[in-house]
Amino acid sequence: MFESSTREIPAPRKVPRHIAIIMDGNGRWAKQRMLPRVAGHRKGVEAVRTTVRACIERGVEFLTLFAFSSENWRRPAEEVSILMQLFLRALEQEVAKLDENGIRFKVIGDTARFEPRIRELIAAGEALTAQNARLTLTVAATYGGRWDIAQAAHKLIAANPEAAQTFAPEALERFLSMAYAPEPDLFIRTGGEQRISNFLLWQLAYAEFYFTDMLWPDFDAAALETAIASYRQRERRFGRTSEQVEASD
């Protein structure tokens, strides 16, 4: 399934097939309202529901959301614990609804770091929804792009020790945690920062980047529409000249 933008040029599309989002700004949203940070995270879960719905309406096939990074473990123990509780509750309450809506649910990340109950719910949710095809919703949790590349390299060498001689990108891609999905076409980051923060380092090679100051809890269908409109204005050259792109259309 992995369609590599450095091996083949993806077909142009009006609606991005795969959108990847760094959902940032929950803490600031709460702070602006003199609320505890958890209030922002809670509201952020609502924005996730809205965005999933909007993606289905738009015909987006893959939505990948960065929920908790490898580096977020550095946060105060209390906030980490609250985020884990929220994730646990979301798994308990939302997975059945995802299934009813024909959504395939996936989690990528170093999930061995999660408590057993969360790991069980993830496994159950993935199994329940495995055959759904309307939208693939991937939650990146305890995920880091460097972790992903390192674990893929480890698996590649374990599967084929001779691969260490050539180490071709195509060989590695099969073992990346999102090998089931095409690369993201559109990358969105809310919250005003313009950085990747160790998200999908390999997979974003040719994604179009869109940054907005809007805080994640405020993100909605209209905001998604604005991001897609910006994406439509881009000329995706994948290394070619503009003339080549025009001739190929």
Taking CB under 5 A as the binding criterion, the range among 12-20, 24-32, 143-151, 194-202 that sits at the site for Mg ion is 24-32
Using Cβ positions, the residue closest to ligand IPE within the complex turns out to be 27
Choosing among Mg ion, ligand IPE, none, which partner's interface includes residue 193 (Cβ < 5 to 8 Å by kind)? Answer: ligand IPE
Residue 24 sits in the site that holds Mg ion (CB under 5 A): yes
Total number of residues that touch ligand IPE (CB under 6 A): 17
Residue 63 sits in the site that holds ligand IPE (CB under 6 A): no
Choosing among ligand IPE, Mg ion, none, which partner's interface includes residue 184 (Cβ < 5 to 8 Å by kind)? Answer: none
Whose Cβ is closer to ligand IPE: residue 16's or residue 27's?
Answer: 27
The reply to whether 72 belongs to the active site is yes
- Least separation in angstroms between residue 200's CB and ligand IPE is 12
Using H for helix, E for strand and C for coil, what is the string for the chain? Answer: CCCCCCCCCCCCCCCCCEEEEECCCHHHHHHHCCCCHHHHHHHHHHHHHHHHHHHHHHCCCEEEEEEEEHHHHHCCHHHHHHHHHHHHHHHHHHHHHHHHCCEEEEEECCHHHCCHHHHHHHHHHHHHHCCCCCEEEEEEEEECHHHHHHHHHHHHHHHCCCHHHHCCHHHHHCCCCCCCCCCCCEEEECCCCCCCCCCCCCCCCCCEEEECCCCHHHCCHHHHHHHHHHHHCCCCCCCCCHHHHHHHC
**Pattern 177-206, ligand IPE, x by CB under 6 A:** --------------x-x-x-x---------
Owner of token pair 């770091």: 113
Select the residue interacting with ligand IPE from 5, 17, 20, 26 (CB under 6 A).
Answer: 26
Choosing among ligand IPE, Mg ion, none, which partner's interface includes residue 64 (Cβ < 5 to 8 Å by kind)? Answer: none
Q: List residues binding ligand IPE (CB under 6 A).
A: 22-28, 66-69, 72, 83, 191, 193, 195, 197
Which amino acids are annotated catalytic? 24, 72
